[in-house]
A and B are shown apart, each in its own frame.
Chain A
Amino acid sequence: MDYVRSIEVQGSGEFPVEMLKHGKSWPARPEDAESLLKSGDESRVVRLSSLNHPDVSKWESFGWSVIKGAHMTDTSHVHINRKEYWVIFILLFLLTVLEVGVVFVPGISKVLLISALVGLALVKAAMVGWFFMHLSHDTASIRNGVVVGMAIPFFYAFVLIAEAAWRLSWTQL
C-alpha cells in the first residue's frame, strides 16, 4: 500500500549505499543496479524507485544531488497557527452551547430568540469560513466572490420576508 516514487540522483565516485536504506529506495532498472557498483570519477545518473520523499540535504552531504523527484512544495506563504485553530474550535463549541441554551430561556420573545439564533449561526459559519477555510489568507477577490455569493440567498430571504409582511398588512386593511 506504499506509493513508489521515481527519483534520479547524480554524482560520481562511490554510491552512498546507506541512502537506499534511509529513503527506502532501490535501483529502478538493471543498469541502475550496475551503476551502484561503479566508482569512477565520471558523473553518472542513477534512477531509483523510492518509498520516501528524497532527503535532498542528506544526499548532498555525500556529494550527490537529487535531479528528479525532489520537488518540495513551496509552503513559505502558508500560515499555520494551531493555537488559533484550537481557540476557534472552543469558541464554536461555546457558541453551540449558547444556541441551545437560548432556546430554553423562559419567556424570551420570539423575535429576540430568532434574531439571536440566526445571528449566532452566522457568526459560527463566518468563523468556519474565515479561519478553517482560510479565507483570511485569500486574496480580496476570492473573499469578496465567496461572501457576495453566499450573501445572495440572505438578500432573497430578506425580500421574501418584507414582501410577506407587506402582503399581511394589505390584507388586514
Chain B
Amino acid sequence: MGAHAADDHHHELPFDQWPEDAWTGKASMGKIGMWVFLLSDALTFAGFLLAYGILRGGSDQWVMPGEPVEFGINFTAGLTFLLICSSVTMVMAYAACVEDNRKSATKWLFATAIGGVLFLCGQMQEYFGAFEFLFHHKGLIADGLIFGNSHRASTFYLITSFHGFHVFSGTVYLFIMAFRTAMGKYDGGNYNHIEICGLFWHFVDLIWILVFTFIYLIPA
C-alpha cells in the first residue's frame, strides 16, 4: 500500500467534500489559513507605514539636502500598471482552472509569474539603475537616497523592499504553481490551491496600491 503515494491521497477527503461551515461556508481550510496569514501580513505593513507616517508628520525637514525630491512617479505608475495586469492574468488562470482547462491555466499562470519578474526588474532599475540603458537613470542610490542617511530614505527602502520581497516570494510561488498545473495536479476543476495562490498575489497588488499612494504620490 505505502509504495503507492498517489493512492494515499484518495484517503483524504477532497476540499470540496467537507461539510459546509456555518461561518465560513464553502471556504477551504487552506483558504482560511491564507486569509489569516494575509491579515497578519497586512498588520506588519501597517506597522511600517504608520512608523513612516509618524516620522514624516513629526519631522521639520523631510527631504534632506542632496536627496532626490521625488521618486519618479511615472516609472512607478508603470510598475503599478504591471501589477494590475498580473492580477487580471491571475483571475484568468483561476477561471481556466475552474473550467478544467489545463493549458489555458498554465499559460495565464506563467504570464502572471512573468509580471512578477518584470516588477522585480523594475525595482532593480529604480534602486540601482540595473537597466540604465533602457531608462537612462542611474537609480535612486546613485541620486543620493541612501538607506540610513535619513528617515525618508530608510522608511522608503524598508517598505518598498519588504514589498519587493513579497513579490519575489509570490513569483517563486507562481512558477511552482504554473509547473504543477502543467503537470496536471489541478485537473478536474481542482481550483483550491490556485485560488489560495491568487489570494496571496492579489494581496501583493493590494498592498502596492497603498504603498504607491503613501510613499510615492503624497508630495513632500
**A71, A118, A152, A164 interface centre (most CB from chain B within 10 Å):** A71
How far apart sit A82 and B206, CA to CA, in the bound complex (Å)? Answer: 20
Q: Does A3 contact B (CB under 8 A)?
A: yes
Q: Does B160 contact A (CB under 8 A)?
A: no
Q: Does B66 contact A (CB under 8 A)?
A: no
Q: Is the interface of B mostly helix, strand, loop or mixed?
A: helix
A121: nearest residue on chain B (CB-CB)?
Answer: B213
Rounded to whole Å, the gap between the CB of B196 and the closest CB of chain A is 11
Quick check: B183 and A1 within 8 Å, CB to CB?
Answer: yes
Complex contacts, B195 vs chain A, CB 8 Å: 134
Quick check: A93 and B53 within 8 Å, CB to CB?
Answer: no
Quick check: B39 and A149 within 8 Å, CB to CB?
Answer: yes
Among B4-12, B117-125, B164-172, the stretch in contact with A: B4-12
Rounded to whole Å, the gap between the CB of A97 and the closest CB of chain B is 8
Rounded to whole Å, the gap between the CB of B183 and the closest CB of chain A is 4
Q: Does B61 contact A (CB under 8 A)?
A: no
Total residues of chain B contacting the partner, CB 8 A: 70
From A53, A132, A142, B188 is in contact (CB under 8 Å) with A53
Complex contacts, A120 vs chain B, CB 8 Å: 213
Quick check: A125 and B95 within 8 Å, CB to CB?
Answer: no
Among B79-87, B133-141, B148-156, the stretch in contact with A: B79-87
Complex contacts, B143 vs chain A, CB 8 Å: none
Quick check: A139 and B217 within 8 Å, CB to CB?
Answer: no
Quick check: B212 and A121 within 8 Å, CB to CB?
Answer: yes
Among A9-17, A30-38, A84-92, the stretch in contact with B: A84-92
Rounded to whole Å, the gap between the CB of B95 and the closest CB of chain A is 5
Quick check: B90 and A75 within 8 Å, CB to CB?
Answer: no
How far apart sit A146 and B203, CA to CA, in the bound complex (Å)? Answer: 12
Rounded to whole Å, the gap between the CB of A19 and the closest CB of chain B is 16
Range class of the A interface residue count: 35 or more
A96: nearest residue on chain B (CB-CB)?
Answer: B80
From B58, B95, B187, B213, A118 is in contact (CB under 8 Å) with B213
How far apart sit A58 and B190, CA to CA, in the bound complex (Å)? Answer: 20
Question: What are the interface flags for B1-31 relative to A under an 8 Å C-beta threshold, 1 for contact and 0 otherwise?
Answer: 0001011001000111100000111110000
Quick check: A6 and B4 within 8 Å, CB to CB?
Answer: yes
Quick check: B185 and A3 within 8 Å, CB to CB?
Answer: yes
Question: What are the interface flags for A115-155 relative to B under an 8 Å C-beta threshold, 1 for contact and 0 otherwise?
Answer: 00110110011001100111000110110011001101100
How far apart sit A149 and B36, CA to CA, in the bound complex (Å)? Answer: 10
Known: A2-B183, A99-B217. Is A128-B189 also a contact (CB below 8 A)?
no
Complex contacts, A114 vs chain B, CB 8 Å: 218
How far apart sit A3 and B213, CA to CA, in the bound complex (Å)? Answer: 44
Question: What are the interface flags for A151-170 relative to B under an 8 Å C-beta threshold, 1 for contact and 0 otherwise?
Answer: 01100110011001000000
Q: List chain A positions with a Cβ less than 8 A from chain B.
A: 1-6, 51-53, 68-75, 77-78, 80, 82, 85-86, 88-89, 92-93, 96-97, 99-100, 103, 110, 113-114, 117-118, 120-121, 124-125, 128-129, 132-134, 138-139, 141-142, 145-146, 149-150, 152-153, 156-157, 160-161, 164
Q: A80-B98, A132-B202, A145-B35 are in contact. List 5 more A-B contacts (CB 8 A).
A: A88-B88, A128-B209, A132-B88, A138-B27, A142-B32
